[in-house]
Chain A
């Protein structure tokens, strides 16, 4: 088994064309072709830190404010889940909990573990890291659910003084946190995981 980079070749991450000239544009699709994404881990950490920091206010402040006949009440993401549980809407409570809490938190942990394992050459099974990275890239965008819920309700429920719904301070922090974590996962070059993988990690099946 030989890698493209060992022969001085590079593959276009967009269209898969192999070139002898890394650092130039792909002759098929025009994307920049690099042996590895330049400064991949630096970008991963920059987006990761920003994403984690914004996730904190995203959970502390209310994400949605409801005004019913003059009474104003704000609810945080977790508060919204608890309200749903009180209304016995268990399946929806689980959807929101998974999308807004479980997925973002596990994303932070998985991305950090993969990045650290590359930097410090931790002997974590590369197939497992590979699958975890793909899962994180696939599922991360679903964390936007709560943002869309608030947007739909804020736009729709404007029935004067009877009932009105507004977005809370948390919404911007939360949405940006999700977007930054998506960028963090995208910046991670999976080839870095395999560069120091032991040879016996061959795939069977």
Chain B
């Protein structure tokens, strides 16, 4: 019989390996397909929590302040993500309003808030609670659908696209989005989900 605590299976190719408990800095790659099976970095969940709180604040700034402003013939207009979702809804562009409301407002905000909750939960060692693990699973499922960084590139393209038609400028939210993208990349480089799962299992 296999001792389930001693083996890990590769998520990509299903190969089963006997892997000793991992420590900070360890990285275990599947010998069959090359996929990372376990990678421990940023064993301090405090640092992960701090980074995610910062990301949460930046996300809130990014969605509530104007990202673009436009002026032409004496008329001026500036707009935040929340305004945009609202304006699109009121102007009978319901589909775009809902798509943006979900992909660049609701899901990014929800995801980062859930991550903060999970990391607080993971700190309560010895209390491996399935609720926090379920929340973390959900937050990770949301990840591909949180499109704040894609929206940032969209804003840059917009600037160029209508630059000749009207005078377009960026607002504070644009810089918050830039900082957010930097912060998310920082989290990506310094933290690993394997560490968070270990914390949630009470193995840290």
Which residue numbers of A lie inside 8 Å of B, CB to CB?
A: 1-5, 7, 9-11, 13-16, 18-20, 27-31, 66, 68, 80, 84, 87, 89, 92, 95-96, 126-127, 130, 137, 141-142, 144-160, 162-163, 165-167, 171-172, 175, 182, 186, 190-191, 193-195, 197, 201-203, 205
Output the nearest chain A residue to B131 by Cβ-Cβ distance. Answer: A30
B31, B145, B165: which contacts A202 (Cβ < 8 A)? B31
Chain A residues with CB under 8 Å of B91's CB are 154, 158, 166
Indicate whether B100 reaches chain A with its CB closer than 8 angstroms: yes
In B42-97, which residues have CB < 8 Å from any A CB?
Answer: 67-70, 72-73, 75, 77-79, 83-85, 87-88, 91, 93, 95-96
Q: Is B200 a contact partner of A28 (Cβ separation < 8 A)?
A: yes
A126, A153, A167, A172: which contacts B161 (Cβ < 8 A)? A153
Indicate whether B120 reaches chain A with its CB closer than 8 angstroms: no
Output the nearest chain B residue to A205 by Cβ-Cβ distance. Answer: B34
B69, B128, B130, B162: which contacts A153 (Cβ < 8 A)? B162
Chain A residues with CB under 8 Å of B9's CB are 3-4, 9-11, 16, 18
Q: How far is the CA of A172 from the CA of B103 in the complex (A)?
A: 14
Given A2-B16, A9-B16, A16-B8, CB of A152 within 8 Å of CB of B158: yes
Chain A residues with CB under 8 Å of B153's CB are 95, 142, 145, 148
How many Å from the CB of B82 to the closest CB on chain A? 10
Indicate whether B20 reaches chain A with its CB closer than 8 angstroms: no
Q: How far is the CA of A182 from the CA of B75 in the complex (A)?
A: 40
Count class of interface residues, chain B: 35 or more
Q: Is B79 a contact partner of A3 (Cβ separation < 8 A)?
A: no
Q: How far is the CA of A171 from the CA of B154 in the complex (A)?
A: 14
Chain A residues with CB under 8 Å of B187's CB are none
Indicate whether B11 reaches chain A with its CB closer than 8 angstroms: yes
